[in-house]
Amino acid sequence: MALIKPHGGGNLKPLYVMDDKQRADLAEEALHLHSINVCSAAAGNAVMLGAGYFTPLAGYMNKADALGVAKEMKTADGLFWPTPVLNMVDHEVNLQPGDRIALRDPNVAGDPVLAIQTVEAVETFTDEEMALMTEKVYRTDDMEHPGVKAFNTVGKTCISGPIQVLNFTYFEKDFGDTFKTAYEIRADMEKLGWSKVVAFQTRNPMHRAHEELCRMAYNDLGCDGILIHMLLGKLKKGDIPADVRDACIRKMVELYFEPNTVLVTGYGFDMLYAGPREAVLHAVFRQNTGCTHLIVGRDHAGVGDYYGGFDAQTIFTEEVPADALDIEIYNADHTAFSRKLGKVIMMKDAPEGHTQEDWVFLSGTKVREMLGKGEAPPPEFSRPEVAQILMDYYQGLED
């Protein structure tokens, strides 16, 4: 059986220039073009466009598309899309439609050229339009929200138009074994003979509950494989660095999953912390990787208490049109180890009579305290081999 079709129903549309000579010619052209240092979010958008994750978009959105997406999750021509994909700058630019510009990477020393953009329009959002997009996408205007702050501090002027991507910034070099494009993931799945695949999104190391949730979804849905797909871009202060997370997840998969049932991969994008809207974005680009299902758990892509525990699930039934996506959602409740049953289960499936004492619960703060002291969390919470990697990391912070 073939893999699920990319979003939009056509072929995958990676904007990375694969031909070596064409890429070299473009790099030479870039030396003579007006150049702009883009913000980290725009660089992440370029990577996602280049890698095919944002199929079928051809580049950065204009004002009408961004406002349509914010208000109704639709571009001006009717394409379903959940979040604006913008190249925003905080200064006036003297550009005309048809101009070509070099986009320089803010996340790599020397600001090398990341992509070339053909300008379609330069437009400035009003304060009211910025406020509208913020409220619709993030459901809050609180500048303490990391996504709201990031979105509202990079300027109000957007440069729209198609792009040609020349590289994948630091992700390829720093995460050579883990960073994968959507087309590479599709090729890997085809090689393994998979057609029914469930994706698990993570920005954290995986504990026993996450591991079992993947296993539950795999078995419940009768899948051929699991895509563990971790975010490799910028996070908020205090989150575990991507290389440590990567080591934890690989160790867990190596020791506790059957061979050839899991692909451990990552993608280059900064976390939006947009809760429900980001969950829908996750579904779009997992469909583009070839996944038929996405696990959406409690507070998926959330931060603090800005979203209800299940808002990221209900958006798919209450706001996403039934025909908008082909990928399906596997709704997950909170999972935890039941002392009474001796295994991890979804809390909604607990038999009657379960009390608070029957569950193994540890707060993130408590876990970090234990790891920092060199104490492993109980094996019901974390695999010992994973805990050891985390203990080494936390104790290294104090050296």
How far is it, in rounded angstroms, from Cα 249 to Cα 288?
23
Q: Which of 298, 325, 326, 294 has its CA nearest to residue 312? A: 298
185, two tokens: 């993931």
| Catalytic site includes residue 383 | no
Assess contact for 117 and 87: CB atoms under 8 A.
Answer: yes
Closest alpha carbon to 185 in 127, 234, 230? 230
CA geometry: angle 177, 181, 185, nearest 5 deg:
80
Distance of CA 287 to the CA centre of its chain: 13
Which is it for the CA torsion 370, 376, 378, 382, positive or negative? Answer: positive
**Could you tell me which residues are beta bridge partners of residue 122?**
159
Closest CA to 371 of 341, 357, 355, 392: 392
Contacts 24+ apart (CB under 8 A), 389-395: 389/205, 389/244, 389/247, 389/248, 389/251, 390/205, 390/240, 390/244, 390/248, 393/240, 393/241, 393/244, 394/368, 395/371
Closest CA to 268 of 153, 184, 151, 331: 184
- DSSP characters over 118-172: E--EEEE--HHHHHHHHHHHHS---TTSHHHHHHTSS-SEEEEEEEEE---HHHH
In 10 A of CB 106, how many CB atoms? Answer: 15
Write the CB contacts of 308 (distance below 8 Å, at least 6 apart in sequence): none
CB 200 within 8 Å of CB 210: yes
**Which one of the listed residues 23, 203, 215, 250 is annotated catalytic?**
203
Provide DSSP, 49-62.
HHTTTTTT--EE--
Name the catalytic one among 23, 37, 100, 204.
Answer: 204
E strands in 144-242:
157-165, 197-202, 225-231
Please confirm, yes or no, whether 203 is among the known catalytic residues: yes
Radius of gyration of the chain (CA): 21
The rounded distance, in Å, linking the Cα atoms of 319 and 119 is 33
Cite the active site residues.
203-204
